[in-house]
Chains A and B, each alone.
Chain A
C-alpha cells in the first residue's frame, strides 16, 4: 500500500503517526496503544436465536476466541418430577413425555420400561414391535428437526424447510395411530394404548421408510458440497473419547468420537435384538462426524422400521393383567368385573410394592434413564429421568474452548441440547 501523498506540507499528523505504528503483531498489543489483552465475558441468552431453547451461556472471550464457557440453565424448570409424585402411575406418562419434547416416545418408554421392570410385567410381543416402530419413527423425526435447525444455525437455511416437510409425514403417521401429533400418550404401562389403524397405516409407513434414504442422500448432497458448512464443521469441537466418557456423554456424540456404545445393542430392550441394524461411528469426533453419524442413524432407523413392519406379530397390544392395564372398552358393557377393574384403575390406579429401579434406553441424544421409587401406594415416591442432554451439556465447555464464537454456534447446534430435558 503506497503512503498517501502529503498535500498540506506539514508532515505526518499525530493520527497518521499512530496509524502507521500499528502492526499486525500478536495479541499483546492489539491497538498499538500499549494496552494489554483483556478478557471479556459476555452473556448469550437465554433469549437468543441460536441457542436451542432457553440456554444461557456466559462466554469469556479473548477477541473472538472463546477462552471459557459456562452454561446456566433452569429457565425452563417445570418441576415435572415433583408433579409426578402427586399422580398415579399411569398419569405420570403424559407428564414425563413433556420433558425432552422432541423425543416424547422415548421419555414415555424410559418411564414405562422402568415401571414394568419394577413390577415385573411382561409386555406382549406385538406391543414391543409397535413400540419399536414408533420409537424409531420418533428418532428419525428428532434427527430431522435437529438437522433442519442446525443447518439454519450454520446458514444453510433451505434445509430447514426440507426436513420439516419430511417431519410432517411422520407426524401424520403419529396422528393416525394415536390422535395427536406431539405428546401422544401412546405408550402405557404394559403395552401401547391402541392398535395401529388398518386402512393403510402400514403401507404409508412403508412408503415413507422406503423414500427416506433418498431424502437423506439429498440432504447429504446439499450439505457435503457446501464449502461454508464444511469449513464450519470439519475439525471443529474435537474432544477425545476418554474425556467424553468421564463427562458421562452418550449417544451420537460419543459414537462420533469412535466409541461403539449403543444401548439398543449392548442391553437390548423391547425386542431390539430381533432386528439387524448398524451403529454408525465417527472417526475424528469433530462436528462433521456428529452430523454424519446422525444422518446415518436415520437410515439405520429406517431399516429397523422396515424389519419391524415385516415381522409384526399378531396379538394383544397391552398386557392382559386387568390390575395394571385397562380392559378393552367393549367389555365394560357386558362384564361387571371389567367395570370394577376400570373404575379402580382410573380413580386410584394400581399399587406397587416398595422398591426402586433404574433402567435406561437409547434415546436420540444418548442414554435416557428413569429411576422409579415405589413406596407401596398408587403414586410413585420418586420419578427421576436421567436426561441425556443434561449430562451431555457438561461437555460444551471442552468442545468450545479455543475456538471462535462462530464455532461455538456450530458446536452448540451439533451438541443437540433440548432444554426441556435439561431443565425438566
Chain B
C-alpha cells in the first residue's frame, strides 16, 4: 500500500486541509460509515501495537525512581547527577523517592560499613519488585581504597545489577551506568544474570531463628539461593564479633 507523506504544515492551507480530512475521517469512523478495508487502514495508521511485556519494560525503564540513599563521597557525585549539568531527570529519574516502598533503584553510593549493611539489606527488602541496584564507586563494589575490618562489599549481601567503577566515579560515569541499566531492563525483562548467580528475590525474616551467635537483636534476612552453592563457613581471620550472614537455606 502506498503511504503518502506530507510534510507537517507545508503551508498553512495544506495543514488546515489535512486537519479537515482527518476530522472527517474520524467522524465517519465513529458513525460506522467506513468499509472494512478503510477501517483497518484507519486503525493501522493510528494505533501502535506491542506486547504487554514490551510496554511494561518501556515504562519501567524510562521512569526509574532512585531511592535517596547517599552514604559517603559518592553521594556527592550522585547529587551532582541531579544537578543541572547532567540532569538525571531527563532520563526519567526526576523523583528521588525517600521511601523504599516507592523506589525502584537503590544506588549504593559509598562505602558500606558493617554496621550499615543490615540496614541497607532491610531497605532493599522493603523495595517492591522489580527493583535494581547500582553499586556506585569502588568501595561498594569491592572495598575500594580501604580493605579492612570495617567495611563489606555490597555483593555479599544483596544482588547488584551494575557496578560503576571510580573513586568517586564522575557523574558522567554514573549516568553511563544508569543508561546501561536501562538497556538491561529494556532488552531483558527477565534479567538473566540473576538466574545464573542464583540471586533471586529476597524475603525479609524478622527474628533470630537460624542465625549463628544468636544474632542478637538484629533482624536478619534470607536470600533464595539455589542448590549447589557451598555455604560460607566462618574463617578465623575475620575480625571477631562480626556476625556473618546465616547459612542459606532455600525455602519454599
Q: A-side interface residues toward B, CB under 8 Å?
A: 46-49, 53-54, 74-80, 82-83, 94-95, 98, 101-102, 145, 149, 160-161, 164-165, 167-168, 171, 181-183, 419-420, 423
| Complex contact A182–B76 (CB within 8 A) | yes
B59 within 8 Å of A (CB atoms): no
Check A78–B113 contact: CB distance below 8 A. Answer: yes
Cβ of A182 and Cβ of B68 under 8 Å apart? no
A78: chain B residues at CB < 8 Å are 72, 111, 113, 139, 146, 148, 150-151
Q: How far is the CA of A220 from the CA of B147 in the complex (A)?
A: 44
Q: How far is the CB of B139 from chain A (nearest CB, A)?
A: 8
Distance in Å: Cβ of A107 to nearest Cβ of chain B = 11
Most buried by B among A79, A80, A420: A79
The residue that A101 contacts in the complex, of B76, B83, B150, with Cβ under 8 A, is: B76
Q: Is the CB of A79 within 8 A of B151?
A: yes
Across the A-B interface, the 6 shortest Cβ-Cβ residue pairs: A164-B83, A79-B150, A101-B73, A49-B98, A79-B148, A75-B116
B75 engages A53 (CB within 8 Å): yes
How close is B89's CB to chain A, nearest CB, in angstroms? Answer: 10
Pair A98/B73 contact, Cβ less than 8 Å = yes
Evaluate contact between A168 and B115: CB separation under 8 angstroms: no
> Distance in Å from the Cβ of B193 to the closest Cβ of chain A?
26
A46 to B118, CA, bound (A): 11
Docked CA distance A278–B105 (Å): 46
Once the chains bind, are A75 and B146 in contact (CB under 8 Å)?
no
Cβ contacts under 8 Å, A77 to chain B: 113, 115, 150
Contact between B79 and A149, CB atoms less than 8 A apart: yes
In Å, the complex CA distance between A94 and B146 comes to: 10
Taking CB atoms, residues of chain A closer than 8 Å to B75 are: 53
Contacts of B85 in A (CB 8 A): 164-165, 168
What 1/0 flags go to B126-142 for Cβ under 8 Å of A? 00000000000001000
Determine how close the nearest CB of chain A comes to the CB of B107; give it in whole angstroms.
13
Alpha-carbon gap, A161 to B151, bound state (A): 32
A182 to B72, CA, bound (A): 12
Query: A76–B145 contact, CB under 8 A?
Result: no
Q: Closest CB of chain B to A164's CB: distance in Å?
A: 3
Q: Measured between C-beta atoms, what is the minimum distance from A255 to chain B in Å?
A: 25
- Alpha-carbon distance A167/B171, docked complex (angstroms): 13
Which of chain A's residues have a CB closer than 8 A to the CB of B80? 164, 167-168, 171
Chain A residue numbers with a CB within 8 Å of B246 are: none
**A contact residues around B100 at 8 Å (CB):** 47
6 contacts between A and B (CB under 8 A): A75-B113, A75-B115, A76-B71, A78-B146, A98-B145, A161-B84
Q: List 10 additional A-B contacts (Cβ < 8 Å) besides A164-B82, A182-B168.
A: A76-B110, A82-B150, A95-B146, A101-B76, A164-B83, A165-B83, A165-B84, A165-B85, A182-B77, A419-B72
Contact of B170 among A74, A98, A164, A181 (CB under 8 A): A181
Chain B residue at minimum C-beta to C-beta distance from A171? B80
Interface positions of B from 90 to 112, Cβ below 8 Å from A:
98, 100, 110-111
Chain A residue with the shortest CB-CB distance to B122:
A47
What are the residues of chain A within 8 A of B111 when measuring CB–CB? 76, 78
Contacts of B29 in A (CB 8 A): none
> A54 — which chain B residues lie within 8 A by C-beta?
71, 116
Which residues from A are CB-within-8-Å of B110?
Answer: 76
Interface string of B225-238 (1 = CB under 8 A from A): 00000000000000
- Is the CB of B17 closer than 8 A to any CB of chain A? no
Q: In the complex, A254 Cα to B69 Cα: how many Å?
A: 30
Q: Does B115 contact A161, Cβ atoms closer than 8 Å?
A: no
The docked-state distance in angstroms from the alpha carbon of A83 to that of B149 is 9
Instruction: Decide if B203 is an interface residue (CB 8 Å cutoff).
Output: no
CA of A101 to CA of B137 in the docked complex: distance in angstroms? 14
Cβ-closest chain B residue relative to A95: B145
Partner of A164, one of B71, B84, B123, B151: B84
Q: Contacts of A74 on B, CB cut-off 8 Å?
A: 113, 115
A149-B76 Cα distance, complex, nearest whole Å: 11
Closest to A423 in B: B113
B79 CB contacts on chain A under 8 angstroms: 145, 149, 164
| B171 nearest in chain A by CB position | A181
What residues of A have a CB within 8 angstroms of the CB of B123 in the complex? 47
List of B residues within 8 angstroms of A420 by Cβ: 72-73
Considering the chains assembled together, what is the distance between the CA atoms of A75 and B139 in angstroms? 14
Contact of A183 with B168 in the complex, beta carbons under 8 Å: yes
A145, B147: Cα distance in complex, Å: 29
| CA distance in complex: A168, B71 (Å) | 21
Instruction: Say if the beta carbon of B215 comes within 8 Å of chain A.
Output: no
Docked CA distance A183–B145 (Å): 12
What residues on B are CB-neighbors of A95 within 8 Å?
A: 145-146
Tell me whether B167 is interfacial, beta carbon within 8 Å: yes
Shortest A417–chain B CB gap in Å is 13
Q: In whole angstroms, what is the CA distance A78 to B143 when docked?
A: 10
Which single residue of chain A is at the shortest CB-CB distance from B117? Answer: A75
* Least CB distance, A405 to chain B, in whole angstroms: 16
**B70 at the A interface (CB under 8 A):** yes
- Taking the complex as formed, is B179 at the interface, i.e. its CB lies under 8 A from any CB of chain A? no
Q: How far is the CA of A164 from the CA of B84 in the complex (A)?
A: 8
Shortest Cβ distance from A161 into B: residue: B84
